[in-house]
Structure 1
Amino acid sequence: MKRVIIIVLALLGFHEGSQAQIKINSNLMQALMEAVGSATISDAQVAELSRQAIVEMDAKNPVAAANDPYTVRLNKIVSRHHTISGIPVNYKVYKVADVNAFATADGSVRVFKGLMDIMTDNELLAVMGHEIGHVVNHDTRDAMKRSLQRSAIRDAVGSTSGKLGELSRSQLGDIADGLLGAKFSRQQETEADDYSYGFLKRYGYNVLALATSFEKLAKLSGGGQGGKVATILSSHPDSQSRAQRVRDRARRDGLLR
């Protein structure tokens, strides 16, 4: 999924209605310069950049309060899962109508209101399990590394001579264009599906929740919902095929007759 562009643009402080020149927070810019300037971006740097990006994103999105029904529901769903495969995980709800969810390399999971509105509790766990699978499998880490290393951020940062500067909107556009190609492969998506299936099975949930979540997304996508589900489906294999693959596996495992 196209998470990297969201993360990096959040780091850069880009938002609608911004001025032609956008001043970057010095701490974020310094961290970005250090990471991009290195031939090897460490896992710790990627996680730290992700953490700082999430702080920025949380500040710019309507986050459900602790007593909000959406937060209460999500906390109940994930009460057993604040550490997954050794990764500390934190969860929040964005009260945004889009049907979406994402996880970042620091273990942050963000679920959109629109997704919660159409999914059952187990289906939400299945979707979150898929996103966390990308983190556990290092897909998210590797995608960010590749994008940072090859993007126009290197040139933009270099033009400041190591000092805090301002990026033009055209430079931000170049960065966005470069990051749009950062998709997960079909194999990575399949492996993330497998992680979610194993996660559901390991904790005693109904694995068919993964199949029904795909079927709901396929129905929405085919029903002209367009932008509301485009992000979550944009780089994925066909959702109906994925649902059938889950059903076939469940049948082989004796979980479906």
Structure 2
Amino acid sequence: MKRIASQIFVMAWLPFVSQAQTTTKPSLMQALMEAVSSATVSDAQVADLSRQAIKEMDAKNPVAAPNDPYTLRLNKIVSRHHTIGGLPLNFKVYKVPDVNAFATADGSVRVFKGLMDIMTDNELLAVMGHEIGHVINHDSKDAMKRGLQTSALRDALSSGSGTVSKVAQSQLGSVADYLISAKFSRQQETEADDYSYDFLKRNGYNVLALATSFEKLAKLSGGAQGGKLASLVSDHPDSQSRAQRVRDRARRDGLAK
């Protein structure tokens, strides 16, 4: 299957390879062209592009059915959390074996089967809290705006003389490569960690679930999952260090020994 490519700019990804599929329809590319041609990109445009992107991805990936055990488990986990920070959320499971999850600027949260297989319920909430934190903190929107303003993206999208259908596949691949390589800063990652911690604490969950989720990811990045790990995992803040930071904070808060 094809890797996630041209819609990655609206997502906050865990650092793992994904086998989920996506293609770019003319309607989405036209919206991108219009956004690039404008001086600024509004939050409303970002949310609209996110909705288009997630609709296309849901149509091209194995989404767990309403009565699927994975869907039933996820719905139970998030039953108290259909709105966070004023943002309405919608949840689905991709039955793809990758260890991954993402949230988009329109409030869509997608969790992969592979992640659900290795995480407890509270650890899944911690991971989703981190991803939602990127959205609430506007990291996803800012990343997309930066992407739309890059010369590589402008050049690739404008090379078809204004006609989206004429953009060569190789050029779209270059755009996708840029978008995939775009990363959140360490500060943004730390702030998303803090958002997840606060979310767990505020709702009465064990905040150490965030630490244990990082510890599991640290073990995976050590090579246990081989080819399922992307090379960019080494460019993210060290998972073990992030876990220790959570544990230290929990001790200060009197939530751990």
Give the TM-score taking structure 1 as reference length: 0.88
Equivalences for residues 206-221 of structure 1 within 5 A: 206-221=206-221
Q: Residues 214 and 243 of structure 1 are in contact (CA less than 8 Å); yes or no, is this contact kept in structure 2?
A: yes
Please state how far the C-alpha of 1:150 moved relative to its aligned partner. 0.6
In the aligned structure 2, how far is the partner of 1:34 from the partner of 1:126? 36
**Match of residue 42 from structure 1:** 42
The alpha carbon displacement at 1:8 in A equals 5.4
Matching of residues 1-257 of structure 1 within 5 Å? 5-7=6-8, 25-230=25-230, 233=233, 235-257=235-257
| Pairs aligned (count) | 247
Deviation at 1:236, TM superposition (A): 2.2
Distance 2:159 2:230 in 1: 35
Gaps of 5+ in 1: none
- Contact kept, 8 Å, 1:8 with 1:53, in 2: the verdict is no
**What is the Cα deviation at residue 27 of structure 1?**
2.2
Identity of aligned residues (%): 77
SS in 2 for 1:93: strand
SS in 1 for 2:230: helix
Q: Which moved more, 1:93-102 or 1:168-177?
A: 168-177
The 10-residue stretch of structure 1 (158-167 or 36-45) with the greater mean CA deviation from structure 2 = 158-167
Moved >6 Å (runs of 4+): 15-18
Structure 2, unpaired ranges of 5+? 12-18
Structure 1 position 159, deviation (Å) = 3.3
Residue 232 of structure 1: how far off its partner (Å) = 8.6
Structure 1 pair 6–59 and aligned structure 2 pair: CA distance change class (3 A): same
Whole-angstrom distance in 2 between the partners of 1:82 and 1:202: 15
Deviations 1:146-173 (A, max 9, x none): 1121153322332334334232122022
Moved more, 104-113 or 220-229: 220-229
Structure 2 vs 1, CA of residues 48 and 4 (structure 1 numbering), >3 Å: closer, same or farther?
farther
Give secondary structure in 2 for the equivalent of 1:184. Answer: coil
Structure 1's 169 and 74: CA in aligned 2 closer, same or farther, altered over 3 A?
Answer: same
Cα distance in 2, alignment partners of residues 144 and 63 from structure 1 = 25
Structure 1 residues 234 and 96, CA gap change in structure 2 (3 angstroms): farther
For the structure 1 residues 97 and 137, does the alpha-carbon distance in structure 2 shift closer, same or farther, using more than 3 Å as the test? same
